[in-house]
Amino acid sequence: MGYFADPATWVALGKIIWVNILLSGDNAVVIALAARNLPAQQRRIAVLGGSAAAIVMRVVLTIFAVELLGYPYLKIVGALLLFWIGVQLLLPEEENEEGIESHADVWGAIRTILIADLVMSLDNVIAVAAAAQSGPPEARLPLLVIGLGLSIPLIIVGSQLLMKVMERYPIIITLGAALLGFVAGEMLVHDAASERFFGELGQPGVTLIEVAGAVGVVLAGRWLARRRGRLAAAGAAAAIAAAPAAAAAAAEGAAGAAETAPRRHVLVAVDGSENSRQALRRAVALRGNLRDAEKMTLHLVNVQRPLPGDVSRFVAGRTIDEYHRERAEEAMAPVRELLKTLGITAQEHLVTGEPGPAIADAARATGCDLIVMGARGLGGAGAALLGSATLGAIEHAGVPVLVVK
């Protein structure tokens, strides 16, 4: 037990816990979606039963992986896989109509959780096994048991809370991906087949490779995520343009002869935060200042951040859509009630993507000539003075953005 006096032991333990919690985010979503249609009592049985079986399986696989990483060249392969896992962590889900649906019986939900966790735990197994390598050799097995033992209850009991925290503070996921890149660089330089070559670089050179792994993961992941997010937001914007905006345009055309002033379209970003409600009040005040308030159409847009990429491999697209709609409804309901008391109607839009670009795309699709949004939304850690969504909308919007504090 003397290895617990070694700082490397505690560093390795911290890596194991952080990596396992972070990479279990998508597993937590699958658990929640697979059991979401069950009554409360059965839902608890399904989550606990499925998770317990998956935990045993994951511990066995991780111990096996630790042993394999002792062979030459396997750490190099593991480093490449871990780098890709880090990149994938930063990517949103892709559309998938096939996949696992929510179950109405306990055993179906347990089966879903177990199968999905078996396949999805590859990243956890590789990452946790790699994190354990940084500790003293004699401490690796105890570290795995303690690290997994501490993190697993958090995943089971707080799966929904963990996902909400990660959605609200996406910087956590970015830092986690950087940690995976760092561990990948660490594995690369400490493989039995490459250690002699990298050892000649000295500690500064080794550290540089580890840091390069962290930076490389973040840069590659952010670039691919931005590219995929823009495509998803453009698709959602096209759908918006084809439905309510087209209907509104037709109505305007029918009444065009009677109108002497152009109609204004104002987009308000709604995310459930107090700042977004302040933005709506400002938009309503602008409407009240018009000579003919009916000539302003309010558009409310809620942007749902994409779920982790692995989720779409096991959960059908329509189930994910239902999840996003429920989250959007939580944000829209109080805003809708406020407008109802004021006797004002608004068009509502739900899009999925990176908030800033998605809001800008929705404004273009609906023909809005003004965007009104809060200075900071739910993801308050995005920037020093303005939220990341606000900065993104300002950057991508081709119309004025009114920022409300």
Instruction: Write out pLDDT tens, residues 20-37.
Output: 776 666 666 666 666 666
Give residue-wise pLDDT tens across range 237-278: 555 555 544 444 444 443 443 344 467 899 999 988 888 888
Sign of the CA dihedral running 168, 174, 180, 182: negative
| Contact criterion met (CB below 8 Å) for 319 and 100 | yes
CATH number of 256-404: 3.40.50.620
Give residue-wise pLDDT tens across range 364-402: 988 899 999 887 655 544 433 456 677 888 888 888 999
pLDDT value of position 83: 86
pTM higher than 0.85: no
Q: Average pLDDT, stretch 67-94?
A: 78
| Contact criterion met (CB below 8 Å) for 389 and 360 | no
pLDDT value of position 269: 92
- Which of the four pLDDT bands, split at 50, 70 and 90, describes residue 159? low
- Angstrom CA distances, 347 to 11, 54, 106, 234, 304, stand at 51, 44, 39, 19, 17
Residue-averaged pLDDT of the chain: 75
Q: How many CB atoms lie within 10 A of CB 264?
A: 16
Task: State how beta strands 370-374 and 264-269 pair.
Answer: parallel
Considering only the C-alpha atoms of the chain, give the largest distance between any 2 of them, rounded to a whole number of Å: 87
Domain boundaries, the chain: 2-226, 256-404
Q: Average pLDDT, stretch 132-159?
A: 70
C-alpha 142: how far from its chain's center? Answer: 32
Cα-atom radius of gyration of the chain, to the nearest Å?
Answer: 25
Distance between CA atoms of 190 and 206, rounded to whole angstroms? 9
| Contact criterion met (CB below 8 Å) for 362 and 267 | yes
| Contact criterion met (CB below 8 Å) for 228 and 260 | no
